[in-house]
Amino acid sequence: MNALAATSRNFRQAARLLGLDSKLQKSLLIPLREIKVECTIPKDDGTLATFVGFRVQHDNSRGPMKGGIRYHPEVDPDEVNALAQLMTWKTAVAAVPYGGAKGGIGCTPGELSRSELERLTRVFTQKIHDLIGINTDVPAPDMGTNAQTMAWILDEYSKFHGHSPAVVTGKPIDLGGSLGRDAATGRGVMYATEALLTEYSDHFRINLVIQGLGNVGSWAAKLIHQKGGKIVAVGDVTGAIRNKSGIDIPALLKHRSEGGSLEDFYGAEVMDAAELLVHECDVLVPCALGGVLNRENAAEVKARFIIEGANHPTDTEADEILAKKGVIVLPDIYANSGGVVVSYFEWVQNIQGFMWDEEKVNRELQKYMKNAFQNIKDMCKSQNCNLRMGAFTLGVNRVAKATLLRGWEA
């Protein structure tokens, strides 16, 4: 089941639990706007190249729409649609005043020079500048894009609308980006793990496995290690390693930053990457690709808890298998929402023209993550459902209430 089908299925299940009217359900599911634009640029060799850009704006009942822009050769309208919808529920769960959006350009960033990427970003911004904005739709980085991409969007947008730092988040600090933004999603994963373990277990005196050592996985590993969590295995696209006594995460991250690979790290032994997700542990934290937990491996999972640092790492069939095994899954729309929460803080700081110190950013993030977890637990009790449905019913309920209050049938 692809991401769109799974997201829609979770929405419908939540809508049934909430008893939403069928017409309201349909209204909430259909995107507000789908944008498709052609972006033609001159390449460095003088030839012309054409790329297709997308932006799906799903819902604006609770505030301006929010979501990343990804540069990837397989940018697919269905996936962008699913992720835009997911952002609507995610922002509602986190209680930040946004709706959901997502966008992308079908390209291979590694095959384009810096100047070609800049031209492509500027042309894309020219095509959509009148459809995004501080109070309309606020993009952010995603797969294949970064702070520099946001700087180009900000500059191009400002040519049409005047200086507008709040039009994008995830910007460089020197252009109004927020302190703490780089670590925000990984830090949010750590706070989510802390909230779950405080509820169910004995805090961080547990063994963890982390899949994925990109931005999210690296920060989550570093911060969980600082809290006293023992990370017994990690893996990325190059392979996987383990150490039953616990991996020295700061040493590993230093080793990788100096160009070393997992396999030549001195403090652990190489293991079969295929066994990482079913390794013996208390907590499994998938922080890489979607669909990694499926019917092929779910029955073999040994973890008691799964924290979804990635988007949609657990497919629907795996969800059912894990539920029967008694595995508690903390869903992505809560667990990895730290990034959008701190994006909200960045937007607020830009609008106010007053920047926060990093301590305040992290303190506010912890408060939002703690409150959201308690709200999910309350919803689980009232609806007699698991954490995934608790999160979805919380998010869908908030969006439905805002839609009804605004007078959606008028």
Strand, helix or coil at 277? helix
Burial category of 360 from C-beta neighbours within 10 Å (exposed 0-12, middle 13-18, buried 19 and up)? middle
243's tokens: 């150490």
Query: What is the DSSP-derived secondary structure letter of residue 207?
Result: E
Contact 70, 144 (CB under 8 A): yes
Nearest-angstrom CA–CA distance, 324 and 318: 10
- Residue that the structure tokens 């169910």 belong to: 200
Q: For the chain, how are helix, strand and coil distributed in percent, rounded to 5?
A: 50, 20, 30
Choice among 23, 26, 43, 102 that is catalytic = 102
Token output for 359: 């301590």
Residues forming a β-bridge with 65: 99, 137
- Cα–Cα dist 138/256, whole Å: 33
Residue 66 is labelled as binding a ligand: yes
What's the number of CA atoms in the CB half-sphere (13 Å) around residue 175?
A: 20
CA 116 vs CA 70, 103, 145: distances in Å: 16, 19, 13
Whole-angstrom Cα distance, residue 369 to residue 192? 6
Task: Give me 318's structure tokens.
Answer: 């795996």
* Cα distance between residue 220 and residue 213, in whole Å: 9
77, 5, 17, 9: which is closest to 400 by C-alpha? Answer: 17
SS3 assignment, position 296: coil
**40 among annotated binding-site residues:** no
185 in a known ligand binding site: yes
Say if residues 203 and 197 touch (Cβ distance below 8 Å): yes
Answer yes or no: 302 catalytic. no
How far apart are the C-alpha atoms of 334 and 346, rounded to whole Å? Answer: 19
325 is in an annotated binding site: no
Say whether 135 counts as a known binding-site residue: no
Q: Annotated binding residues for NAD(+), as ranges?
A: 185, 215
Q: Annotated binding residues, as ranges?
A: 66, 90, 185, 215, 343
Q: Annotated binding residues for substrate, as ranges?
A: 66, 90, 343
The residues annotated with a catalytic role in the active site are 102
